[in-house]
């Protein structure tokens, strides 16, 4: 029987969400709903916001359940609605909860954008999606005109699923399919359109690296691992392993390298270097001799102090010495202790 593999999914809608555990074995895929929760809008100051922290905590709850059951998940996937986004400061902190697409601040902004920035025909030519006043392009334009402080201080602008993956991994990306709802993505280039981005007074790098579905973003942060009880294999361990396997299995290693988010071939990467901290033996075998005959063997540290080794050796053969002090002890740490007993 094929070993069962587990996958964790987050399904977020505009009114509720759930965490799901998927399992795959012998060609059969099963789904189990772990948690279900409300996704409540916050109304304050004349605006509607999503509670990104509450959504994050619900994901943590689901991951805790997985850890409590001792399940080793292969991956985490997050699916949400489009258009909305989160601002992140230079220090990595989230700048207030995100405005919801249901907020009326974009009413009339689509027409103003066409009049003041780029024509309706040109925007459609670049993006090819339906015009909706809550599309990200018009939300950002409305916030820019309103002097939104979070926007003015944003180092990164992340769509909702990208913001949640950022909170879990610390890595900022721009996932292609959710970006396609923004009216900023140009499908002909496969990236955000520079003209549209610049029309908002923004820079392309503020949105993170364009990433396609099934790409490995990163691993859970140490904080998330501690909160949930889950563990992760760090990229620092996986990437050198793939590089070392590449001469034996070049094609599959190229595929794995690409799935880790690298655009360039691994053929151009330097060969991994050994970390001297981990090179060498943890212990060595020290031989204890009496009159040239081996009477004991000890597992000791390669850096053991000679006096400590002598003490251990004498304790190991104390019964053979009959309680008498030896006439001479020669210590060659960490390999050998030679004892000449009293006559």
Can you count the helices (H) and strands (E) in the chain?
13, 16
Residues 186 and 327 in one domain: no
Tokens coding 110: 């689509």
Asked, as a colleague might, if the bond just before 103 is cis with ω within 30 of 0, I would say no
Percentage of the chain exceeding pLDDT 70: 95
117 shares its domain with 157? yes
Mean model confidence pLDDT for the chain:
91
Contact of 158 with 174, CB cutoff 8 Å:
yes
In degrees, rounded to 5, the angle at the alpha carbon of residue 4 between the alpha carbons of residues 22 and 170 is: 55
Q: Which of 161, 195, 228 is the last residue of a domain?
A: 228
268 and 330: one domain?
Answer: no
H helix or E strand, kind and range, residue 32: strand 28-38
Burial of 277 (0-12, 13-18, 19+ CB in 10 A): exposed
Q: Which residues pair with 78 in a beta bridge?
A: 10
Are 25 and 79 part of one and the same domain?
Answer: yes
Q: Is the pLDDT of residue 233 over 80?
A: no
Report yes or no on 279 lying in a domain: no
Based on the fold, state whether residues 253 and 202 are members of the same structural domain. no
Closest Cα to residue 160, out of 73, 101, 224, 247?
101
CA distance 180 to 128: 10
| Residue 302 three-state SS | coil
Q: How confident is the model at residue 237 (pLDDT cuts 50, 70, 90)?
A: low
The CA distance from 8 to 163, in Å, is: 17
The confidence score (pLDDT) of residue 209 equals: 93
pLDDT per residue over 5-19, tens digit each?
899 999 999 999 999
3-state secondary structure of 191: strand
pLDDT tens track for 67-116 = 999 888 989 999 999 999 999 999 999 999 999 999 999 999 999 999 99
328, 246: one domain: no
pLDDT band at 236 (very low <50, low <70, confident <90, very high): low
Q: 61 and 190 share a domain?
A: yes
Which tokens sit at 61? 């709850």
For the four alpha carbons of 259, 263, 267 and 269, in that order, the dihedral sign comes to: negative
> What is the phi-psi region of residue 45: left when phi exceeds 0, alpha when psi lies from -120 to 50, beta otherwise?
left
Residue 306 belongs to a domain with what CATH number?
Answer: 3.10.20.590
Number of domains in the chain: 3
Average pLDDT over residues 31-38: 97
For residues 189 and 315, state if they share a domain. no
Task: Identify whether residues 223 and 242 lie together within a single domain.
Answer: no
Q: pLDDT value at position 231? A: 77
> Which of 39-53, 111-125, 189-203, 329-343 is least confident?
329-343
Q: What is the pLDDT of residues 288-342, one digit of tens each?
A: 998 888 999 999 988 899 999 999 999 999 888 888 888 899 999 999 999 998 8
User: Does this model's pTM top 0.85?
Assistant: no
Residue 100 CA, distance from chain mean position: 26
| pLDDT at site 106 | 95
Helix axes 235-245, 250-259, angle to 10 degrees: 160
d(CA 246, CA 249): 5
Give 247-281 pLDDT, tens digit per residue: 999 999 998 887 776 778 988 888 888 766 556 66
240 and 305 assigned to the same domain: no
Residue 324 lies in a domain: yes
What is the 8-class DSSP label of residue 204? G
Is residue 88 included in any domain, yes or no?
yes
Last residue of a domain, one of 212, 228, 244: 228
Q: Are the CB atoms for 50 and 100 separated by under 8 Å?
A: yes
Same domain, 49 and 189: yes
Mean pLDDT to the nearest integer, 160-175: 96
Give CA separation, 82 vs 141, 179, 255, 307, in Å: 17, 8, 29, 69
pLDDT of residue 323: 81
Structural domain contains residue 221: yes
Angle between helices 136-146 and 109-116 (to 10 degrees): 80
In order, the DSSP letters of 87-102 are: EE-TTS-B-SPPBPTT
Confidence at 214, pLDDT banded by 50, 70, 90: confident
**How many Å apart are CA 46 and CA 42, to the nearest integer?**
10
Whole-angstrom CA distances from 343 to 126, 292, 310, 318, 329 are 98, 15, 20, 15, 14
Residue 48 lies inside a defined structural domain of this protein: yes
Distance (Å, whole) CA 269 – CA 266? 5
Q: Which domain holds residue 253?
A: 235-272
For residues 169-177, average pLDDT: 95
Residues 40 and 99 placed together within one structural domain of the fold: yes
Q: What percent of the chain clears pLDDT 90, i.e. is strictly above it?
A: 73
The answer to whether the CB of 220 falls within 8 A of the CB of 74 is no
């Amino acid at each position: 029987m094929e070993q069962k593999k587990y996958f964790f999914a987050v399904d977020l809608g505009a009114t509720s969400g759930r965490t799901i555990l998927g399992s795959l074995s012998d060609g059969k895929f099963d789904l189990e709903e772990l948690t279900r929760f409300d996704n409540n809008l916050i109304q304050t100051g004349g605006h509607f916001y999503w509670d990104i922290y509450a959504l994050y905590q619900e994901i943590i709850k689901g991951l805790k359940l997985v850890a409590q059951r001792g399940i080793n998940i292969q991956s985490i996937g997050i699916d949400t609605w489009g258009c909305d986004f989160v601002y992140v400061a230079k220090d990595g902190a989230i700048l207030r909860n995100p405005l919801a697409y249901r907020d009326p601040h974009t009413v009339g902004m689509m027409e103003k954008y066409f009049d003041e920035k780029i024509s309706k025909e040109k925007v459609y030519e670049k993006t090819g999606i339906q015009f909706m006043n809550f599309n990200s392009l018009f939300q950002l334009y409305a916030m820019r005109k309103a002097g939104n402080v979070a926007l003015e201080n944003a180092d990164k602008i992340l769509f909702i699923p990208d913001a949640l993956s950022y909170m879990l991994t610390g890595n900022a990306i721009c996932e292609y399919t959710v970006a396609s709802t923004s009216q900023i993505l140009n499908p002909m280039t496969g990236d955000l359109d520079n003209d549209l981005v610049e029309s908002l007074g923004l820079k392309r790098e503020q949105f993170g690296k364009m990433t396609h579905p099934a790409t490995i973003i990163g691993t859970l942060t140490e904080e998330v691992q501690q909160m949930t009880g889950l563990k992760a294999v760090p990229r620092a361990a996986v990437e050198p392993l793939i590089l070392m396997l590449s001469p034996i299995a070049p094609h599959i290693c190229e595929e794995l390298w690409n799935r880790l988010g690298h655009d360039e071939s691994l053929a151009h990467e330097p060969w991994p270097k050994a970390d001297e901290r981990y090179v060498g033996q943890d212990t060595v075998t020290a031989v204890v001799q009496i009159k040239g005959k081996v009477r004991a063997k000890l597992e000791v540290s390669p850096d053991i102090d000679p006096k400590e080794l002598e003490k251990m050796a004498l304790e190991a053969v104390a019964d053979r010495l009959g309680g008498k002090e030896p006439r001479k002890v020669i210590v060659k740490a960490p390999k050998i202790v030679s004892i000449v007993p009293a006559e």
